[in-house]
Chains A and B, each alone.
Chain A
Amino acid sequence: MRNSKLMRLLATTGVLASTGMLASGCKSMIVFDPKGPIGLQQRDLINITMLLCLIILVPVLIITAWIVWRFRDKKNNDAPYQPIWSHSTKLEIIWWSIPIAVILVLAIVTARYTYATDPAKPLVSDKKAITIQVTSLDWKWLFQYPEQGVATVNYLVIPERTPVRFELTSDGPMNSFWVPQLGGMIYTMSGMATTLYLQADEPGNYMGTGANFTGREFAKMGFTAKAVPQKDFEQWVAEAKASGNELSEEGYQTLAKPGTSDRMTFASIPSGLFERIVHHYSMSRGAPPGYTQKAQTLSGEKAIEHSEGGQLPPGNNAQKDSPDVGSFGSGHSYHKLDHMHMNHGK
């Protein structure tokens, strides 16, 4: 019986440890602490679905425990034993209809919320929405404010209680833009622009992150979404404009190269940059400098561009590069490639 004692000890420790963790973890779950209308509705929906599921889950767990205990193979167990009994239309109708009923309710709830929180649906507000254009790069976030004419890297400043219309794309691998306390995520994909409406109801710093794996420095793609009062937002825009740090076309080319980045603020942005990223820059970007092994299979231009770099070995060192190696060169202009892009996404 030494064995069973030890097992019990193990089980108890396990249960205690996990309850401890559950208790300490629950306080801080940010999905359950939303700060905007979309996040709020999503939290409510999560609560409803959990409740609906628990209606089935809890009885099933109790019944399981009871059946396993009641009908265990033990001498003098007086529970009925019916080895042939294996069909009951009445019972089967009951347990086909219970999940059907639950799923029916859930489907109706889902339908309501799917339309209500559609990421592309404008938020109802007496304030005009501001637009922020989001580009996921290798491995940093570029946020452009077309109306204000400023841009940031790896941080976001938004006015509180104002709907924000995010337009998202990617210049590199697809990623996913996620600020859990404001609302759920949406993918950024090269060659197309997705839309996501979010709003912060109170000032604060909210964690933002890239959620879809993009390679080596993916873990460094966190950013802060800072919600501030309208007045402070305007002041921030003014300061950004006064910073004098302009984002040029060449500057963007350098920024778009693989590598991580600190926070940056730009006083101006080249006009139409976001649209060009969607339409032109979506092609074959992100190749580490110096890599040529199979470059000719991509496009002739790519091959010429990298031909002097020599061959990199495959394997662990294949992506060794840094954001500041050389400059991308102005020869890589998008208009040359126009004829190749007949067939982009929208």
Chain B
Amino acid sequence: MIDQLTDFVSWFFVTGDPLIYGADVAIALTMAAIVFVLTYFRKWGWLWREWLTTVDHKRVGIMYIIAALLMLFRGGVDALMMRTQLAFPDMKFLSPEHYNEVFTTHGVIMILFMAMPLMFGLFNIAVPLQLGARDVAFPFLNSLSFWLFFFGAMLFNTSFVIGGSANAGWLSYPPLSELTGSPGVGEDFYIWGVQISGIGSLMTGINFIVTIVKMRAPGMTWSRVPIFTWSVLSSCIAIIVAFPVLTVTLALLFLDRFLGAHFFTMDGGGNAMMYVNLIWMWGHPEVYIVVLPAFGIFSEVVAAFSRKRLFGYGSMVFAMMSISLMAYFTWLHHFFTMGSGANVNLFFAISTMIIAIPTGVKIFNWLFTMFRGRISFKTPMLWTIAFIPCFVVGGMTGVMLSVAPADFQFHNSYFLIAHFHQVLIGGVAFGYFAGLYYWWPKMFGFKLNETIGKWAFWIWNIGFYVCFMPQYIVGLDGMTRRINSYGWDTGWWALNFTSTIGGFLMGIGFLFQVWQIAHSIKFMEKDTTGDPWGARTLEWSIPSPAPLYNFATTPLVTDRDDWWEEKERIAAGKMPKAKPELEPIHMPKNSPIPFIQSVCWFTVGFGLVFHWLWMAIPGFIGIALTMLAHSFNYDTDYYIPVDEIKRTEARAGRVV
């Protein structure tokens, strides 16, 4: 009996690695601390009522952002472990298996569980406010999306202490990811973690498209929609086309592994290259999905901090929309070296290059927004300015990679690694940081400390170049990605060592950001104006943090930068726009169902990973029951009375 139990435990939990034991202890202590604090301060009820069951888009957004920052830490630690292993030739820091798990986890987490939720967090914070709306189109669905992402991410994260992590790379190419190549449960954790959160992403895409199409304030014609909201629309259109492909691809891989199907195995007539095609049909649009909203953020920030209208609004919108369309004609450039022949390679080479055109146009538009403006160097603007040279260089190496015959020399080398980190960090991470700093006062009612923020900015940036510039060179010197060690005879160590230093500098930059947040919470610079940056769009016309109902009265939009124009009118001594009478506000009620249903999804995923149908089937039943329960729930909304609105506005210093 005892023996059986020990056997089970040593099979169920990952054993034998001191780093993992350390993580086990850290996880246990953190959990204990959270439970203790919540119990001691009697916060369980508060947590449940105010956060876990909330459908308020602002709170959902904040939860997305917290989860994303935790994942940024997790993925960053993985990155530093890899850089430590590669700092010297023949390092013995990580075993090959462990190294493979670490880079797989790093990739999956950074793209799917860091970039995506941070992006959704910013969508949630900013889009309804920019539209002058009270919430997103489907608040319940929004909450469900978040919890699906969260439990998908948790499922994926459990794998490194329970069962073992995926180790076939972040896109899990078969046959390596099939049972023959990865017999453990790691790939199943990957499939279900990504699958569950992917369903959430798809629903978010639908939700925001409907929100933008249907919930714009009166007067907000398409030519008056704020540019960030346009970028969200273009990104969401790409989401709803790309994510079903991911869902199907992973479902097929799951059938291969679980039921012995042969979609991607050569025996039985499958083909692994089918998977590679499918996964990149999602994977390449995915990078545009995450970068388009960053373009939107840069556009907002550059206009606000140059105190000037955005240059070339029409061009910008056209460029973003065409990028989200062209994203679907580029997937094959990820495997030019497959031997598909000159005609195919040429087609995808040119269709890839073409994307550089709208992207280049956007750079010029940003530059000319600053041109004849007045640029103030607040942290959001610093990240935006740093983005331009970084992305231009990254874009240039991207164009180099798109030249098919030259790509034969770059592909799968560190040149490629350097390129995509440059566009993803320089474009996506810098953009989301800019957005986070920019909208922070709107979320929490206080500004982040500028001095520490500037330190973080400089350390991150210097760290970035020290880390990734050597990787271009070492790639051209023949170092391939994903190797866990190399010999002294290769002559790569100096470059790798430099790169490691840069990686750790970025880590320090991250710590500065953590310090910045902690410091700012303690010594708040309260934002009493609601408009700390002198910005241009509707979200800055309401108090900070935004009240539950966002807008006391629905704004009437008459211009593109409506709030800026209003300020100009007031400054010119004209009357501000007349506001309609207060009326009771119709709001959605909180619901526990998204949380409960997502727990059920987690149960299903966990059960299927271990082939435990006794666990998966009740999970499925739970999902069905929660769906039914929600279908028959007619008590989903309520009205905020006028008195309460008046009290809230008065507290925020507003006269209504």
Q: Which residues of A contact B (CB under 8 A)?
A: 3, 7, 10-11, 14, 17-18, 21-22, 24-26, 28-32, 39, 41-42, 45-46, 49-50, 53-54, 56-57, 60-61, 63-64, 67-68, 71-73, 77, 79-88, 91-92, 95-96, 98-100, 103, 106-107, 109-111, 113-121, 172-174, 176, 178, 180, 183-187, 189-191, 194-196, 207, 209-219, 282-288, 291, 293-299, 312-319, 337, 340-345
Contacts and interface: CB of A to CB of B under 8 A. Distances in A.
B607 interface: no
B176 A114 contact: no
Contacts of B483: 218-219
A60 B392 contact: yes
B16 A218 contact: no
Given A110-B349, A298-B260, A173 B266 contact: no
B309 A210 contact: no
B420 interface: no
Nearest to A343: B269
9 contacts: A22-B470, A49-B406, A61-B392, A64-B388, A92-B361, A117-B405, A190-B266, A287-B179, A291-B183
A24 B168 CA distance: 34
B17, B306, B368, B501 pick with most chain A CB within 10 angstroms:
B368
Given A21-B494, A22-B473, A213-B481, A189 B181 contact: no
A21 B473 contact: yes
A18 B267 contact: no
Interface of B: 10-11, 14-17, 20, 95-98, 100-101, 163-164, 167-169, 173, 175-176, 178-186, 257-260, 265-269, 271-273, 306-315, 335, 337-339, 341-342, 345-346, 349-350, 353-354, 356-357, 360-361, 363-365, 367-377, 385, 388-389, 392-393, 396, 399-400, 403-409, 411-413, 451, 454-455, 458-459, 462-463, 465-466, 469-470, 473-474, 476-478, 480-486, 490-491, 494-495, 498, 501, 505, 611
Contact of B97 (A22, A316, A340): A316
Contacts of A79: 372
A39 B392 CA distance: 27
Contact of B309 (A45, A86, A180, A189): A86
Nearest to A7: B458
A283 B265 contact: yes
B466 A184 contact: no
B493 to A, nearest CB: 11
Given A96-B361, A190-B266, A26 B473 contact: yes
A83 B412 contact: no
Nearest to B360: A99
Contact of A81 (B373, B473, B495): B373
Contacts, number: 385
A314 B185 CA distance: 6
A17 B183 contact: no
Given A11-B462, A85-B308, A293-B183, A119 B476 contact: no
A210 B403 contact: no
Nearest to A70: B371
Given A109-B403, A114-B349, A218-B96, 16 more contacts: A11-B458, A21-B495, A22-B473, A24-B494, A49-B406, A60-B363, A71-B374, A83-B308, A87-B312, A116-B405, A184-B337, A184-B405, A184-B407, A215-B176, A218-B100, A284-B180
Contacts of B367: 60, 63-64, 67
4 cross-chain pairs, A with B, having the tightest CB-CB distances, nearest first: A184-B408, A315-B164, A297-B260, A314-B184
A214 B339 contact: no
A174 B501 contact: no
A82 B11 CA distance: 68
B12 to A, nearest CB: 9
B14 A315 contact: yes
Given A294-B179, A318-B183, A31 B408 contact: no
Given A25-B474, A211-B480, A110 B404 contact: yes
Contact of B368 (A42, A91, A116, A218): A91
B339 A194 contact: yes
A294 B483 CA distance: 29
B354 A50 contact: no
